[in-house]
Chains A and B, each alone.
Chain A
Amino acid sequence: MPAVAAKPIACPPPLPLAPCRNLDHVLVAEDDALYRRILDRLLSAKGYRVECVTDGLEALGKASSADPPRLLILDWMMPGLQGPEICRKVREHRCECYQYILLLTARNQPDDIVEGLEAGADDYLIKPFNAHELLARMRVGERMLRLQDGLLAAQESLRFQATHDPLTGIWNRRALFELLNVELERAVRESAPISLLLIDIDHFKRINDDCGHMAGDAILQEIAHRLSAAVRPYDLIGRYGGEEFMVAAHLDAEGAAQLGERLRAAVSSTPIRSEHSAITATVCIGVANTSAPAECSLEKLVQAADLAMYRAKGDGRNRVEADRLA
């Protein structure tokens, strides 16, 4: 049987970082042809991708489109919708990426400035403005957007790290239990059966001792990979402990036993090749199932899966054992 090469070891899975997107995409909403031309020309010359509209409603449509501009330059007085009203609507709409709004206003109207900023504008520019001031304010906007995107990416990266196992990239124990509770509640709500599978690698200590911890890590990664590929997309899979994985599925006893068998075979059928060796790993799987989730608890399910798993170990390893609760 051909051995399958494990993925490179000790390399954490890639983090889904949101890159800074579309920072050059500018919307100009201005009904005055003169200012529209000025803005278009000055910004295009600096490499911005400029879209011009002449009406407030059209501006709002563009701002909330599938390819939203990140920088909005809105004139105060416009047909359709006025600048501040667009600001309010853009902020209500909450685009996935922050949009920086520069409001254009006429001279000598300090009340306007306050109203515009309160409505959600980030900055304002008083007409008539000169080219340098416009471009400097655009750069401020870009700086803010970069900070904002960086924060979102960092937040997303932390969220990922807090919920995923760094070695295998599947849910970590904390996230697993939070999600298990959600799934159990769903089963209660729908009066549907739920099954829990506890998967423990056979002789893992021996693999570590004989082949080294690097090889042990590679085995963990490959088994996590194979299990993830063998469960259905909507089943839950996480790393429960050192060499233990857990799967939850909305399946009855028979379905869960079949899934357990499929997972067992996925691990043992092909040797796992690391840099220097090919190791045939096997797992024991304890399956717990309940068709009356309202009378069950997560603790009971885990306990039952645990007992079944130990029974499988005692019966000679590379086995699936099931325990049916009420």
Chain B
Amino acid sequence: MPLSWDHAAALQRVDGDAELLAELVEIFLDDYPRHLAALQRSLAQKDYAALHKAAHTLKGSLGYLGAGEGEQLAAAIEQAGQRPDEAKLQALNAELAAYVEALREAMLSSLGEGERAGRGR
């Protein structure tokens, strides 16, 4: 599915501070592989507390960065982790991982365009 990132909404949240937003995206892009890995690992080990924690963190970051769908997926994993259904969690994990990878592309292209626009001015 083609994914677009609501760059404008995220920018509004940080009061128009594009520099801060770029930094936050960088933090997110650095961190998310670790959290996705934690989701996979904790599901494999049936460590639902760790699963909950990783999903919770991703939910917070995605929510802040204006990635609503991803936030909802992470919230679904967080909730499903309370009444574990492995098959469902596997599916959700896969869906979230795919979403986040697509988001990464969208973010990089959005920020890249912003930079080009900035330089062009």
Q: Show the binding face of A for B, using Cβ within 8 Å.
A: 32-35, 37-38, 41-42, 77, 106-108, 127-128, 130-132
Contact = CB atoms under 8 A, between A and B. Distances in A.
B17 interface: yes
Contacts of B57: 32
Nearest to A79: B53
B23 A77 contact: no
Interface residues of B, number: 21
B13 interface: yes
Contact of A106 (B13, B31, B59): B59
Contact of B13 (A32, A41, A77, A130): A130
Contact of B64 (A38, A41, A108, A132): A38
B13 A127 contact: no
Contact of B60 (A34, A131, A132): A34
B12 A34 contact: no
B60 A127 contact: yes
B15 interface: yes
B56 A77 contact: yes
Contacts of A132: 15
B47 to A, nearest CB: 15
B50 interface: no
Contact of B14 (A33, A42, A77, A107): A42
Interface in B24-75: 24, 27-28, 31, 53, 56-57, 59-61, 63-65, 75
B20 interface: yes
B31 A33 contact: yes
Given A32-B61, A35-B60, A35-B64, 18 more contacts: A33-B31, A34-B27, A34-B28, A34-B31, A34-B61, A34-B64, A37-B23, A37-B24, A42-B20, A107-B75, A127-B63, A128-B13, A128-B63, A130-B12, A130-B13, A130-B14, A131-B17, A132-B15
B61 A130 contact: no
A77 B78 CA distance: 13
Contacts of B65: 34
B23 A128 contact: no
Nearest to A33: B27
Contacts of B31: 33-34
